[in-house]
Amino acid sequence: MANGICAQVVRRPYVFIYRDERDPIERAVINLANAHVEYSEDQEQMVRMPNTFSVVSKERGYLLQTLGDKEVHDWLYAINPLLAGQIRSRSARRGDKAAAGAGAGAALA
Q: Is residue 34 predicted with pLDDT exceeding 70?
A: yes
Q: Do residues 69 and 84 touch, judged by C-beta distance below 8 A? A: no
Are 17 and 29 contacting, i.e. CB atoms less than 8 angstroms apart?
A: yes
Mean pLDDT of the 81-89 span: 89
How far apart are alpha carbons 14 and 34 in whole angstroms?
A: 10
More confident site: 86 or 101: 86
In this structure, what are the phi and psi dihedrals at residue 54, rounded to the nearest 5 degrees? -125, 150
Beta bridge partners of 52: 65
Residue 8, pLDDT score = 84
User: CA 23 to CA 74: how far, in whole Å?
Assistant: 22
User: What confidence score (pLDDT) does residue 87 get?
Assistant: 85
**Does the model's pTM come out above 0.75?**
no
3-class SS of residue 64: strand
Q: Indicate whether 62 pLDDT > 70.
A: yes
pLDDT single digits (tens) 41-59: 888 899 999 999 999 999 8
Task: Give the range among 20-29, 62-71, 98-107 with minimum mean pLDDT.
Answer: 98-107
Residue ranges and CATH numbers for the domains of the chain are 7-104 (2.30.29.30)
Q: What is the pLDDT of residue 43?
A: 87
The whole-chain average pLDDT of the chain stands at 81
CA-closest candidate to residue 17, choices 35, 1, 2: 1
Q: Work out whether the CA dihedral 79, 55, 86, 101 comes out positive or negative.
A: negative
